[in-house]
Amino acid sequence: MAQQDLASRVFLRPIATPIPLGFMALAVTTSVFAVVELRWIPASQGQTAAWMALLITAPLQLLASVFGYLARDPVAGTGMAFLAGSWALTGMETLKAPPGSTSQGLGVALIACAAALLIPVFSAGGKRVAALVMALTAARFALTGVAQLTGADTMRVVAAAVGLALGVVALYAALAFELEGARGAEILPLGRTRDATSHGEPGVRRRL
């Protein structure tokens, strides 16, 4: 009985980077919270920012985390998961607290979150723009935590200013990564080092 050789074909379907989704969610929420903190709109509107964090930012960043792990990108996976939890906590505490009030418990939690976010910052390797976004997020959480602990107006304004800057940088990073994914080449500078470029993306994508 003749034996037949069976040819196997493997179809690889690379997963797109989830970073633009997570950074877009980050940009809108940090900006809305910053506007409330600066008193550009009434403090009572902080509930809108809280619901945005709970219904938009946290779910989208959690989704980005899942696809980050599926793409074998631990920095995206861990960073986005931790951001999702941090914004969910901030949203819940904001909904519970009276408008314009502070919470020492939330302050301690945000400072702890800021310290934990340094792990993906230092693990980002040659992706400097992504590392910058995470570093600014850590600074934003730390300053907001101090403002919650002390109730100082100066710290609140500084935290809000960093939050607005973070929103701009996060939107730029989201656009840069999105354009790169759509066109297959770096369109806007992402600050990659030569080592990062030579190693390519995580997982099987660099072998395609």
Which pLDDT score, from 0 to 100, does residue 49 have? 93
Asked if the model's pLDDT at residue 193 lies above 70, the reply is no
Q: Residue 163: inside a domain, yes or no?
A: yes
For the segment 115-129, the average pLDDT, to the nearest whole number, is 86
Q: Residue 39: inside a domain, yes or no?
A: yes
Q: Residue 175: inside a domain, yes or no?
A: yes
Strand partners, 192: 127
Q: Residue 206: inside a domain, yes or no?
A: no
The domain that holds 33 is classified in CATH as: 1.25.40
Asked if the model's pLDDT at residue 92 lies above 90, the reply is yes
Q: Residue 106: inside a domain, yes or no?
A: yes
Q: Residue 84: inside a domain, yes or no?
A: yes
- pLDDT range class, residue 74, cuts 50, 70, 90: confident
Domain span at residue 141 reads 19-195
Q: Residue 6: inside a domain, yes or no?
A: no
Taking the C-alpha atoms of residue 159 and residue 33, their distance in angstroms, rounded to an integer, is 10
For the segment 73-98, the average pLDDT, to the nearest whole number, is 92
Strand partners, 127: 192
- pLDDT range class, residue 200, cuts 50, 70, 90: very low
- pLDDT range class, residue 8, cuts 50, 70, 90: low
Q: Residue 13: inside a domain, yes or no?
A: no
Domain count, the chain: 1
Q: Tell me: the pLDDT tens digits for 52-71?
A: 999 999 999 999 999 999 98
Asked if the model's pLDDT at residue 159 lies above 80, the reply is yes
Q: What is the chain written as a DSSP string?
A: ----PPPP-----PPPPSHHHHHHHHHHHHHHHHHHHTTSS-GGGHHHHHHHIIIIIHHHHHHHHHHHHHTT-HHHHHHHHHHHHHHHHHHHHHHHSPTT---HHHHHHHHHHHHHHHHHHHH-TTBHHHHHHHHHHHHHHHHHHHHHHH--HHHHHHHHHHHHHHHHHHHHHHHHHHHHHHHSS--S---B-HHHHHH-SSGGGGG-
For the segment 81-101, the average pLDDT, to the nearest whole number, is 93
Q: What is the percent of the chain where pLDDT is above 90?
A: 62
